[in-house]
């Protein structure tokens, strides 16, 4: 399928049956050609393999959907779980539900309809929502680290510090600030001019792939994005590390082994989820996009977009008796 462009200089658009050569494409784009659609190359060209892709993604999506909906329903309906830790866990499940719904359904629809197109506005929406859900996930995980810190290091002040109003304010602040962050970065991404075509070796609109299509200063845009994002992520990461240093110091002072084990067991799922999130996101966005293999890009994208939303509910419910009891009711 050929790339479709619409010119703003009065020239006729390219015909689907006669794709422009590289030189002609550059010439047209130099006359302020505007991209109206992007082409997501996805995984396979063979129809049978596209069906396989659809089935696999459908199974992964339904698993993530079911797991997170069960967590949300169990916490919402069980009054014993209406405490800060589970309130933030419900927020995390809502975000994971949204995160996995941004990319997978569109990819499945493309495979089913044997198309690879996504509109410009659809691509903008995907980039914004991927930014939003990933950033909000990390913000909520940071707040959850603070919740564990107060619960273990300041147990006498826990109900005062982590009261209902404070929890709602922290969650709302995370959501609102992330909306602004995502809007700024999405606007910055699509403020650049695209003259490298409209084809992306990915199954959704990913920023590193978009930067490869930039006319100029793509390296500067990428570096600016990475520096700002890394600074924000590093501040959250440092906060989590400092919180857990204080937690471990306090737990080791507990005289009974049973008390230590109980305290560690409440922190372990959060630590695993944070580690999984940081590893997948770091591997995805800090790799060199200029020399990365397209197949590797696809596999990494699947890891960071599908794996955390699918495994987070399992990790949190695996050793949590209260949550497992609520799920079995």
The verdict on residue 253 lying in a domain is yes
Residue 248 phi/psi, 5-degree rounding, is -65, -40
pLDDT of residue 68: 94
Residue 175 domain flag: yes
- Going by pLDDT thresholds of 50, 70 and 90, the confidence category of residue 18 is very low
pLDDT at 318: 74
Domain that holds residue 298: 46-111+127-193+217-328
Half-sphere exposure of 111 (CA within 13 A, CB side): 24
Is 184 part of a structural domain of the chain? yes
Report DSSP state, residue 80.
Answer: G
Can you tell me the distance from the alpha carbon of 103 to that of 126, in angstroms, rounded to the nearest whole number? 7
In a domain? residue 250: yes
What is the residue whose two structure tokens read 């501040």?
Answer: 235
Q: What is the pLDDT of residues 110-155, one digit of tens each?
A: 888 878 888 989 999 999 999 899 999 999 999 999 999 999 999 8
Strands (E), the chain: 5-6, 34-35, 37-40, 117-119, 199-200
In a domain, 16, yes or no: no
Residue 21: pLDDT band (50, 70, 90) is very low
Joined together, the tokens standing for residue 195 give 């003259």
User: Looking at residue 113, what is its pLDDT?
Assistant: 82
Report how far apart, in Å, the C-alpha atoms of 310 and of each of 21, 130, 249, 271, 273 are.
Answer: 43, 16, 32, 16, 11
Q: Is a pLDDT exceeding 70 seen at residue 184?
A: yes
User: 67 lies in a domain?
Assistant: yes
**Does the residue 207 lie in any domain?**
no
> What is the pLDDT at residue 194?
78
Residue-wise pLDDT for 60-93, tens only, equals 999 999 999 999 998 998 888 889 999 999 999 9
Question: pTM for this one?
Answer: 0.82
Domains identified in the chain, total number: 1
Residue 118 pairs with which residues in a beta bridge?
38
pLDDT score, position 162: 94
Residue pLDDT, tens place only, 285-327: 665 444 555 666 677 778 788 888 888 888 888 767 777 766 6
- What pLDDT, on the 0 to 100 scale, is given for residue 231? 85
Q: What values do phi and psi take at 118, rounded to 5?
A: -140, 135
Range of 51-55, 133-137, 200-204, 232-236 with top mean pLDDT? 133-137
Among 165-174, 201-210, 316-325, name the one with the lowest average pLDDT: 316-325
Q: Please report which confidence band the pLDDT of residue 329 belongs to, taking 50, 70 and 90 as the band edges.
A: low
- φ/ψ of 6, rounded to 5, equals -125, 125
What does the pLDDT average to over 189-210? 81
Return the pLDDT at 323: 75
Q: For position 295, which CATH number holds?
A: 1.20.1070.10
Quick check: 247 pLDDT over 90?
Answer: yes
Looking at residues 216-240, what average pLDDT do you find? 75
Return the pLDDT at 25. Answer: 37
CA separation for the pair 283, 270 (Å, rounded): 20
Is pLDDT of 245 > 80? yes
pLDDT at 45 over 60: yes
Between the alpha carbon of residue 88 and those of residues 148, 220, 231, 258, the distances in Å are 11, 37, 24, 26
* Residue bearing the bigger pLDDT, 28 or 129: 129
pLDDT band (50, 70, 90) for residue 28? very low
- Residue 186 lies inside a defined structural domain of this protein: yes
């Amino acid at each position: 399928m050929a790339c479709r462009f619409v010119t703003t200089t009065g020239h006729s658009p390219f015909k689907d049956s006669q794709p422009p050569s590289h030189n002609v494409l550059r010439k047209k784009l130099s006359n302020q050609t505007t991209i109206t659609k992007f082409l997501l190359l996805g995984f396979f060209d063979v129809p049978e393999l596209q069906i396989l892709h659809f089935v696999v993604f459908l199974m992964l999506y339904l698993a993530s959907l079911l797991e997170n909906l069960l967590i949300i329903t169990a916490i919402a309906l069980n009054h014993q779980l209406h405490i800060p830790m589970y309130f933030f866990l419900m927020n995390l499940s809502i975000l994971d539900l949204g995160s996995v719904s941004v990319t997978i359904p569109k990819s499945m629809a493309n495979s089913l309809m044997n198309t690879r197109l996504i509109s410009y506005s659809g691509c903008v929406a995907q980039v914004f929502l991927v930014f939003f859900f990933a950033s909000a996930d990390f913000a909520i995980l940071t707040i959850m680290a603070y919740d564990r810190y107060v619960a273990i290091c300041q147990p006498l002040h826990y109900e005062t510090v982590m009261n209902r109003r404070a929890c709602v304010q922290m969650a709302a602040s995370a959501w609102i600030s992330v909306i602004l962050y995502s809007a700024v970065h999405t606007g910055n991404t699509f403020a650049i001019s695209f003259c490298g075509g409209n084809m992306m070796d990915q199954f959704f609109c990913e920023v590193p792939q978009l930067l490869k299509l930039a006319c100029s200063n793509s390296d500067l845009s990428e570096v600016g994005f990475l520096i700002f994002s890394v600074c924000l992520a590093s501040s959250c990461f440092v906060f989590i590390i400092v919180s857990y240093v204080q937690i471990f110091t306090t737990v080791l002072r507990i005289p009974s082994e049973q008390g230590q084990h109980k305290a560690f067991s409440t922190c372990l799922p959060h630590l695993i989820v944070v580690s999984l999130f940081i590893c997948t996101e770091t591997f995805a966005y800090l790799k060199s996009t200029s020399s990365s293999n397209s197949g590797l890009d696809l596999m990494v994208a699947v890891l960071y977009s599908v794996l955390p939303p699918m495994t987070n509910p399992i990790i949190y419910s695996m050793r949590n008796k209260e949550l497992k009891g609520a799920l079995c009711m």
